[in-house]
Amino acid sequence: MIHAPKPERHIYYRDDKVSADKLHAMQYVVVLMLALLATGMWKLQILSVGDYRLLAEANRIRKDPVRAPRGRIFDREGRIIVDNYPSITCYLLRGQGRDIESDIPMIARALDLPVDQIQATLHRYEISHKYESIPLKQDITQDEQDFIEAHRNELPELETRDEQRRLYPQDGFAAHLIGYVGEVSEEDLKSSKYDFYDPGDVVGKSGVEETYDSLLRGTDGSRDVVVDSHGREVGQLGQQLAIPGKDLRLTIDLDIQRAAEQAMEGKTGALVAMDPHTGEILAMVSRPNFDPNQFSGHLTKDYWSKIVNDPNHPMMNKTIQAQDAPGSTFKIIMSLAGLQEGIAQDMRVMCNGGATFYGHFFACDQHHGMVDIHNAIPWSCDTFYYMMAERLGIDTIARYANSVGIGQKTGIDLPEEAAGTMPSTAWKLKTMHDKWYAGETISVGIGQGAVTVTPLQIARALGGIASGGVLKRPHVVFPDELPEEMQSAIKDTFPGSGDRVVPITPENWETITDGMAQTTMPGGFDTGAAAHMEGIDFAGKTGTAQVISHSAGATSLGSGASRANAWFVGMAPRRNPDIVVAVLWEHGGWGAGSAPVVAQVVNAYITKQRRIEGNLHAVETPKPTPPAAPNPPGTPTAMLSPTSKPGEAKAASVSRP
C-alpha cells in the first residue's frame, strides 16, 4: 500500500461492501434483457422473414410499365387510317415515403392541371400497387418537360416516359366507325368485362377500337427497376417486353368512305354503304361527327360540353343507333310480302290522293290514277300500299319484315347497335298490354306508325331482297383475318339476324328490282330520278318519314326539327347488287333529296371498279328512256370515263317525287 487514504475519509472505510447478491441479481437482469432482445430478433428474422423479404422487395423494386404500341388500322386496300405517334407522358411515382399531397399544388402548376383533377387521379389509383406509377398527363409540352427537368429535386416523384399515342384522321373522318381510346374508367373497372385491366390502361371506348380492343391493344410490358428510397433508378433487374397490338384491316374502302363523307357534308344523319354479297361495310358516316383525337388526349371541358350539348348527338353512330320510321323505303318490304303472298300481282288500286279506312282518311301526295305493283314502287303510291297493308294484316307484314332483319339487330361487329321496332299484335300486347287495332296497320304499310329501323337495317334488308333474298351479317373487319376463337366470340358478342336466306320467287325478285330501277329513271316516275346516272344500273327507293306525327298521310314536310327525314336506299346493279347505300338525312325533307347523296357514293364505287377492271363492267340493263333535259356538265356521261375522279359526280337538280 503506497497511498494512505486521507484520515477524514476513514469515516467511509467500513467493512461494508456492496451486496454480492445484488450484483448477482444484476447479472440476471442483463441476461433477461438480452434474451428479450433476442426474442425480438427471432420474431423478425426467423418467424417473419418471408413477410419482410417481400416488403423489402417492394421497397426496392418499382415496376415501370412499358406500354405496348396499339395496332394500326388500315382500310381494305391496306391504306392507313389510324396510326400512332411518339409522345411524352408524365408519370407520378409513389411509395417513396414522400408526402405527395403537399406537392400537389406544385405538380398542378408544373403540368397546368387543376388540383382537384390530380386528387381525383390519385384517388382512382388508391387500389393499385404502390410500385405502379400513375400517368398524370399525356402529351406534355416541351415547356412542361423542361419544368419537370428543372425541378427534379423538388418533385422527384415526377417522371417522363416516351410512349406511342393514337393519331386519328382529321375532322372526324370515319370517327364513329373507328371510335376512340381513353383511359379505362372507374365504372368500367368494376364490370367483369374489364377484369384484366388495371387503372391507367388505355382502352377502346367505341367503334372498332372498342370491339377489337383485345387485338389492337397488345400486351403491356414492364421493367423491374431497382430504386433507392428517393425513387432514383439505380439498376434494372429484368424486363418483360411489350408485345405490340395487332394491325387491323377494315372492310372500309377509303375511296368510298371519302365520297360518303363528302356527300354527307353539311347534313345531319347517316350513310352506310355495304357489299350485299358479303356484308362488308364499305363506308360508314354519321353526322354530326366528333374528333377522336380530342377524346384520346385530354378532353377539354369546352369540347366536351360542346359535344354533349349538341342536340344532334354527335357521339351517336346513327348508322346503327338511329331508330327512325323508314317511310316509303319500307314499301319494298311490303312489296315482297304482297308478292310472295300472291296478292300484289293482281292488285289494281285507283289513287285519288288517298283513301279512307275505318273512318279515317289516309292521304297520298299525288293523284296517281290506276296503280299496280309495277308502278307503285317507283311512284311510291301510298294509296296502293295502304290497301296492301289492309289486305296483308300486321302479322304477315311483321313476318316478312322480321325475315329481312327488321326489328332485330343485324349483328354488326360494332358496339351498341340498336334493334329498331317491328310492330305486330304480339309486340303490342307485350309492350303496351293492348290489342292491335286494324287501323294501325294502314300507316305501317308506308313505313310509318310504330315501325322504326336503323340505316344499316334498311340497307341490308333492301340489298338482301335485291340479292334474291340472301342476307349477310354486316361487318367492318374481315372475319377470316381474325384469330379463330375471336371469330366465334365476335358472333356471340354481337348476336343478330346474321346470315340468312329469305325465299323469293324469281318473278317477284324481278318485279321488285325493276321497280326500284324505275325509281331512278328520268321520265314517268322519277321519285329518285335526280339520282339517275347514265350508263349505271342504279336502283333504289326513296322514303320521306314523318318525325312528329305517326299518323300516315304526308301532305306537308314540316320544318326545322319537325321536318321530315329524307331516306334513300340505292344499289347497283339492280339485281345482285355489288353495293347498297342507305342514307338517312335527318330533317332533309323529301326522300328524293337523299337520292343524289347515295348516287354520289355509288358513282364513286362504280367509277373505281371500272378503273380497276379497265372499264369491263358491262351495262346489262335495258336502255333507259332518254333524259328529258340535257345532263349538266361533269355528271352522268362523265361517269363512263375511267379518268373521272370519285366524288366528282354532281346530281342533277332535285325534282320532287
Partner 1 sequence: MRRFSSFRDFDWMLFTLVMLMSLISVLEIKSATLHTKFRGFDHKQIEFLLVGIVLMFLISRIDYHRLVDIAPWAYGVGLFSLVAVKLVGTKVLGGRRWINLGGGVHFQPSEWVKLILILAIARYFWGLIGRDLSWLDIGKAFAMIGLPMGLVLIQPDLGTALTYFPVLLVGLFLGGIRFRQVMVLLLGFSLLIGGAWLSGKRLKPYQMARLTSFIDPGSDPRGAGYQILQSKIAVGSGGLWGKGTNKGTQTQGDFLPIPYTDFIFAAFCEEHGFVGGMGILLLYFLILMRLIENAQQASDVPGAFIIMGVVAVMLFQIVVNIGMVVGMMPVTGIPLPLMSYGGSSILFSFLALGIVMNIRMRRFVN
23 binds partner 1 (CB under 8 A): yes
- Tell me which stretch binds partner 1 (CB under 8 A): 46-54, 270-278, 316-324, 411-419: 46-54
Distance (Å, whole) CA 222 – CA 231 = 17
Q: Residues 98-127 vs partner 1: string with x where CB under 8 A?
A: xx----------------------------
**Which of residues 124 and 130 has its CB atom nearest to partner 1 in the complex?**
130
Nearest Cα residue to 459 out of 302, 568, 601, 561: 568
227 binds partner 1 (CB under 8 A): yes
Residue 40: strand, helix, or coil: helix
Q: DSSP label at 497?
A: S
Distance (Å, whole) CA 451 – CA 429 = 15
**Which of residues 54 and 243 has its CB atom nearest to partner 1 in the complex?**
54
17 binds partner 1 (CB under 8 A): yes
Subset of residues 68 to 97 that bind partner 1, contact rule: CB under 8 A: 97
**Which of residues 16 and 484 has its CB atom nearest to partner 1 in the complex?**
16
**Which of residues 62 and 532 has its CB atom nearest to partner 1 in the complex?**
62
CA max distance for the chain: 154
34 binds partner 1 (CB under 8 A): yes
Residue 235: strand, helix, or coil: strand
Which of 7, 10, 14, 434 forms a contact with partner 1 (CB under 8 A)?
Answer: 14
Structure-block grid coordinates of residue 539 = 336502283
Subset of residues 494 to 523 that bind partner 1, contact rule: CB under 8 A: none
Which of 112, 116, 143, 228 forms a contact with partner 1 (CB under 8 A)?
Answer: 228
5 binds partner 1 (CB under 8 A): yes
142 binds partner 1 (CB under 8 A): no
In whole angstroms, how close is the CB of 126 to partner 1 at the nearest point?
A: 14
Which of 10, 36, 484, 633 forms a contact with partner 1 (CB under 8 A)?
Answer: 36
In whole angstroms, how close is the CB of 30 to partner 1 at the nearest point?
A: 5
Distance (Å, whole) CA 544 – CA 554 = 8
162 binds partner 1 (CB under 8 A): no
**Which of residues 48 and 556 has its CB atom nearest to partner 1 in the complex?**
48
- Dihedral angle over CA of 324, 328, 333, 336, nearest 10: 180
β-strand 73-74 against 248-249: which pairing, if any?
A: parallel
**Which of residues 23 and 426 has its CB atom nearest to partner 1 in the complex?**
23
**Which of residues 99 and 126 has its CB atom nearest to partner 1 in the complex?**
99
236 binds partner 1 (CB under 8 A): no
230 binds partner 1 (CB under 8 A): yes
CA separation (Å) from 563 to 209, 213, 283, 321, 558?
35, 39, 26, 20, 4
H-helix or E-strand containing 191? none
153 binds partner 1 (CB under 8 A): no
* Total interface residues for partner 1 by CB under 8 A: 49
618 binds partner 1 (CB under 8 A): no
Distance (Å, whole) CA 156 – CA 168 = 34
21 binds partner 1 (CB under 8 A): no
In whole angstroms, how close is the CB of 152 to partner 1 at the nearest point?
A: 17
Q: State the alpha helices, DSSP H only, in 614-649.
A: none
In terms of Cβ atoms closer than 10 Å to its own Cβ (0-12, 13-18, 19+), residue 431 is exposed
Distance (Å, whole) CA 453 – CA 134 = 45
First CA to last CA distance, the chain: 141
2 binds partner 1 (CB under 8 A): yes
Which of 119, 141, 185, 229 forms a contact with partner 1 (CB under 8 A)?
Answer: 229
Say if residues 259 and 604 touch (Cβ distance below 8 Å). Answer: yes
Strands (DSSP E) contained in 120-157 are 134-137
Distance (Å, whole) CA 495 – CA 277 = 20
7 binds partner 1 (CB under 8 A): no
Residue 139: strand, helix, or coil: coil
The number of beta carbons lying within 10 Å of the beta carbon of residue 102 is: 8
41 binds partner 1 (CB under 8 A): yes
Summarize as ranges the residues that interact with partner 1 (CB under 8 A): 1-3, 5, 12-14, 16-20, 22-23, 26-27, 29-31, 33-34, 36-38, 40-46, 48-49, 51-53, 55-56, 59-60, 97-99, 226-230, 234
